[in-house]
Amino acid sequence: MSQDRYRKVPSARLSRLASFGQLAGGIAGGMMAEGVRRLARGERPQMSDLLLTPGNAMRLTDQLSRLRGAAMKLGQMISLDAGDLLPAELTAILARLRDAAHFMPPAQLNQVLQAEWGKDWRRRFARFEATPVAAASIGQVHRATLPDGRVLAIKVQYPGVAASIDADVDNVATLLRLSGLLPDTLDVAPLLAEAKRQLREEADYLREAEQMRRYGALLADHPAFVLPAPVVELSGERVLAMDFLPGQPIETLLQASQDVRDSAMAALLELVLRELFEFGYMQTDPNFANFRWQADTGRIVLLDFGAARAVPDATVAAYRRLMHAGLAEDRAALRDALLAIGFVSPVTLERHSGSLDAMIDVLIGHLGRPGLFDFADRSFVAEVRRHAETIAADRAAWHIPPADTLFVQRKVSGTALLAVRMEARLPLRDMVAAKLA
């Protein structure tokens, strides 16, 4: 394991603030250098052009991966949720945040575990592997073996992460405001408040253990999924112990046959529909690292339940209305449903109804094709992007959907993105219609 992956997590407030200052200074320097280069070529660059460069994106991902916590989590959300909207180069660089987290040095790890389990914590295990098997935004995972031979996965939260959530979110928001990327008229306060609440919940490992048990009961008899069970006596707010379930990254599923890929993705898509319309409860983080593939059993390992949350009845009803309109291929009903669910605002509808209707027509034409829906067919994306850019260019029409809608859509979009990656072909319309019946 490269020593470059080991970096102490800055846990004190001042040290984290200094890291943000270093980040802002590096980005500003990058913007000035890029501006000079473009002016020398006779160009008149916009502020956003100078900010959204590969060099600045690299600075952003490197610093966020060192900070970890809420700052890195927000970067991961951007990389996953941006989909086809960001330039391909920037999307690829931001995607590094999904697996670029550094590890705690052994001394810092030992301090965390001593605080949780006491100085003699190693006596609890026959073996504890010091090198993490995974590292993410809030914690890292170690494999351990109990004296009776039971193999566990131990998720250890980075020190200071929970206490830094509010400040990290505010600092990221400040960077966005200073960049000029967000219009002054855009009220991001409600979204930031909800993001803080969500991240505080994800940092509570006792809560996650409860959600893990809940999903384990909901899916106990489902042949396509397997979930770990928490180990109560070894778990606390900052350390979560659970069964270690073997599996490969979900991307390895792409090596399987078309039938196997389709079956696995059908199970994941059905799970999303059940969460929305049957459970009224959803694990809203579709990060690919939260799914593992067991080629020998043909099952998908489901991990990480910190982002599980109830879906309000009003949001469920709005999605039901939206999907009914889509199945009916009713443009007017779809426009009304998009307005009701909060994807578009009255201002957007008033100023850009033509572009919005054109986007709806493209999507209806693509989704309405008979037979299996081919997720790998992205022929419609360029035209949708062209109309979306017209709307996005009008900063006065920018709009943030309700937080509950965003969290649900994050799961829906992330699952669709995985289906695209797996080149799945599914009876999409039939699956949706069956859940709406």
Torsion sign across C-alpha atoms 263, 265, 268, 273: negative
- Strands 291-294 and 299-302, sheet pairing: antiparallel
- DSSP label at 103? B
| Contact (Cβ atoms closer than 8 angstroms) between residue 134 and residue 140 | yes
Q: Rg (Cα) of the chain, in Å, rounded?
A: 23
For residue 157, the surrounding DSSP H or E stretch is: strand 151-157
Amino acid at 370: P
| Contact (Cβ atoms closer than 8 angstroms) between residue 158 and residue 10 | no
- Beta bridge partners, 309, equal 282
Amino acid at 36: V
C-alpha distance across the termini of the chain, in Å: 52
Q: How many residues does the chain have?
A: 437
Q: Can you read off the two tokens belonging to residue 24?
A: 């802002």
Q: Is residue 179 helix, strand or coil?
A: helix
Q: Is residue 41 helix, strand or coil?
A: coil
Q: Can you read off the two tokens belonging to residue 278?
A: 């049957």
Render the burial of 132-156: b for 16+ CB within 10 Å, e for the rest: bebbbbbbbbbbbeeeeeeebbbbb
* φ/ψ (deg, to 5) at 68: 60, -160
- Strands 299-302 and 225-226, sheet pairing: parallel
* φ/ψ (deg, to 5) at 30: -65, -40
Determine which one of 285, 313, 336, 404 is catalytic: 285
Known active-site residue 166: no
Q: Can you read off the two tokens belonging to residue 130?
A: 């010091």
Nearest CA to 423 among 259, 248, 224, 247?
Answer: 259
Q: Can you read off the two tokens belonging to residue 233?
A: 């006596």
Q: Can you read off the two tokens belonging to residue 314?
A: 């009003």
Q: Give the C-alpha separation, 113 to 121, whole Å.
A: 7
- Strands 151-157 and 248-249, sheet pairing: unpaired
* φ/ψ (deg, to 5) at 372: -70, 140
Residue at token pair 């809560």 = 207
Residues taking part in catalysis: 285
